[in-house]
Amino acid sequence: MTTNTAAARRYSTGAMIFHWLIAILVIVNWRIAEAAEHAEMPAKAEIFADHKALGIAILVLTLGRLMWRWTHPVPPLPSTLKAWEAKLARFVHILFYVLLIGLPLGGWLANSLAGRAVEFFGMFTIPALPVGSNEELGKTIFDLHATGGEIFIYLIGLHILGALKHTFFDKNGGIFRMLPFGKVPG
Sorting pLDDT into bands at 50, 70 and 90, what band is 6?
low
Going 154 to 155 to 158 to 163, the CA torsion angle's sign is: negative
Per residue in 40-83, pLDDT (tens digit) is 999 999 999 999 999 999 999 999 999 999 999 899 888 888 99
Residue 10, classified by CB atoms within 10 Å of its CB into exposed (0-12), middle (13-18) or buried (19+), is buried
Asked if the peptide bond before residue 42 counts as cis, ω within 30 degrees of 0, the response is yes
Q: Kindly indicate whether the domain formed by 6-178 is annotated with CATH number 1.20.950.
A: yes
Residue 111 near residue 138, CB atoms below 8 Å:
yes
Q: Any idea where the domains of the chain sit in the sequence?
A: 6-178
pLDDT value at residue 7: 63
Give bridge partners of residue 120 from the DSSP assignment.
Answer: 124
Residue 105 near residue 145, CB atoms below 8 Å:
no
d(C-alpha 100, C-alpha 148), whole Å:
10
pTM: 0.90
Per residue in 125-156, pLDDT (tens digit) is 999 999 999 999 999 999 999 999 999 999 99
